[in-house]
Amino acid sequence: MSCIMKATIIFFLLAQVSWAGPFQQRGLFDFMLEDEASGMGPDDHDSDVPELPPMGPVCPFRCQCHFRVVQCSDLGLNKVPTDLPPDTTLLDLQNNKITEIKDGDFKNLNNLHALILVNNKISKISPGAFAPLVKLERLYLSKNHLKELPEKMPKTLKELRVHENEITKVRKSVFNGLNQMIVVELGTNPLKSSGIENGAFQGMKRLSYIRIADTNITAIPQGLPSTLTELHLDGNKISKVDASSLKGLNNLAKLGLSFNSISVVENGSLANTPHLRELHLNNNKLVKVPGGLPEHKYIQVVYLHNNNISTVGTNDFCPPGFNTKKASYSGVSLFSNPVQYWEIQPSTFRCIYVPSAVQLGNYK
Ligand SMILES: *[C@@H]1O[C@H](CO)[C@@H](O)[C@H](O)[C@H]1NC(C)=O
Ligand SMILES: *[C@@H]1O[C@H](CO)[C@@H](O)[C@H](O)[C@H]1NC(C)=O
Ligand SMILES: *[C@@H]1O[C@H](CO)[C@@H](O)[C@H](O)[C@H]1NC(C)=O
């Protein structure tokens, strides 16, 4: 009899306990004993620690297992449960008190696609801990106490979330060979620009989304991969947008830089991101509208509210003539700037056909 069938039968018997009244205890143990007699004897075990009956791992105590999803969240666990079913595809261990991930914690889990360790107390991950996870695609480690990113992450990884930890360093080597990676989330960590190694993200050949919001970085990270479509750097201490740091970002569609201290956007920044659609620069220290908007073909959303812009020129947003190649703006915000809306010439927005797309008023 296969392990799955046995587990199914046990599950069925247990289900009968709760749904159909009195527990047929004798029958259940008869079944187990029968199995013991016909199968593994004591010689097959290499220690004399009491073990579960020899029927392969079932669902760990107090966890819930359905359709190869193992749910062990909110159980106060201080370590990863042993005997996880080897066919598990999703393991949810969030909201526990796990402090350390050790080698062997995930042994046999070679079918695991997603591992959720959010909101524990993890400060240490042994370098070999993820080695058995040859199919892992999603690793969620947010809200822990990690000081560095884990080493030797599975090459199959597509999404890494390490929001709200204590990470101060991002080394290039941790991302080596992670050629399937699409999403990296590193927000709310005590990172400084000097902590991010130059080109740290460059080796990831499919990387599409990076979020490093609410940290202490003072510049856009250098050497970003050209595959990026979204870069979210809001809530940092960036004071200037260097055109060079955006060089080659031909696929970038969304750039989030709100809530920084940016006073200068270098000319050429927009030319380096020819497919940009959304630019969030609200809550900064800009004194003028960034250059290059009239020539830009695809930009649709430009948030500039809560800055220090005191004048807006008639050619700041729209090309001089009638230019059909330019996509229309769908959202431009200029409120909460020293410039008063009556000081802006209506023709400034001549290439915007939806009046509600422009927000000018100083709502206070
Ligand atoms: C940024 O640095 C300040 C002190 O300079 C610190 O108080 C703050 O917690 C840091 N931010 C993060 C996200 O670590
Ligand atoms: C940026 O471009 C604008 C208009 O194209 C020009 O007036 C300005 O001098 C340039 N700034 C720098 C620093 O090159
Ligand atoms: C706003 O810009 C003016 C110069 O145009 C400068 O004197 C002032 O200090 C700036 N205010 C802030 C809050 O940065």
Specify the residue for token string 């359905």.
66
Quick check: pTM over 0.85?
A: no
Amino acid identity, position 229: T
Tell me how far CA of residue 224 lies from CA of 230, 235, 313, in angstroms.
11, 19, 33
**Least confident among 65-79, 171-185, 307-321, 342-356:** 342-356
> Of 327 and 170, which is predicted with more confidence?
170
Contact yes or no for 101/121 (Cβ under 8 A): no
pLDDT in tens, 269-292: 999 999 999 999 999 999 999 999
The verdict on the CB of residue 267 being under 6 Å from ligand 2 is yes
- Ligand 3 atom nearest the C-alpha of 308 is 1
Any atom of ligand 1 within 6 Å of the Cβ of 216 = yes
329 or 13, which is more confident?
329
Distance 2 CA to ligand 3 centre (A): 74
Residue for token pair 């070999």:
128
How does residue 355 score in pLDDT terms, banded at 50, 70 and 90? confident
Q: Report which DSSP code applies to 80.
A: P
Higher pLDDT, 48 or 6: 48
Probe ligand 3: pick from 263, 287, 288, max atoms within 8 Å of CB? 287
> d(Cα 344, Cα 216) in Å, to the nearest integer?
35
pLDDT category at 16 given cuts 50, 70, 90 is very low
- Ligand 1, atom 10, residue with closest C-alpha: 190
- The residue whose CA is least distant from atom 6 of ligand 3 is 308
**What tens digit of pLDDT does each residue of 198-212 get?**
999 998 999 999 999
pLDDT tens-digit map of 176-194 = 999 999 999 999 999 998 8
Cα three-residue angle 60-62-64, rounded to 5 degrees: 75
Collapsed DSSP state (helix, strand, coil) of residue 18: helix
Asked if the model's pLDDT at residue 38 lies above 80, the reply is no
- Two tokens at 140? 């969620």
Could you say which ligand is closest to the alpha carbon of residue 286?
A: 3
Nearest atom within ligand 3 for CA of residue 338: 1
Residue to mutate, 260, 285, 308, ligand 3, most ligand atoms under 8 Å from C-beta: 308
Backbone angles phi, psi at 194, to 5 degrees: -65, -20
Q: Which atom in ligand 3 lies closest to the alpha carbon of residue 310? A: 5
**Which of 28-42, 78-92, 255-269, 335-349 shows the lowest mean pLDDT across its residues?**
28-42
| Ligand nearest, relative to CA of residue 313 | 2
Ligand nearest to the CA of 285: 3
Whole-number Å distance between alpha carbons of 83 and 224: 41
Which residues make Cβ contacts (< 8 Å) with residue 248, sequence separation at least 6? 226, 272
Distance CA(144)–CA(54), nearest Å, equals 36
User: With a 6 A CB cut-off, is 287 part of the ligand 3 pocket?
Assistant: yes
Stronger pLDDT, 51 or 331, i.e. the higher one? 331
- Using a 10 angstrom Cβ sphere, with 0-12 exposed, 13-18 middle and 19 or more buried, the burial of residue 340 is exposed
CA dihedral 93, 139, 276, 282 (to 10 degrees): 40
Angle at 325 between CA 322 and CA 326, to 5 degrees: 80
Predicted pLDDT at 78: 96
| pLDDT recorded at residue 48 | 55
Query: Of all atoms in ligand 1, which is nearest to the CA of residue 190?
Result: 14
Mean pLDDT calculated for residue range 118-126: 97
Ligand nearest to the CA of 212: 1
Lowest mean pLDDT segment, chosen from 4-13, 72-81, 138-147, 293-302:
4-13
Nearest to 184 by CA among 277, 167, 102, 245: 167
Determine phi and psi for 326, rounding to 5 degrees.
-90, 130
pLDDT at 307 (0 to 100): 98
State the residue for tokens 């220290």: 285
Residue owning the nearest CA to atom 5 of ligand 3? 287
- Give distance in angstroms: CA of 44 to centre of ligand 1: 55
Neighbours of 236 (CB within 10 A): 25
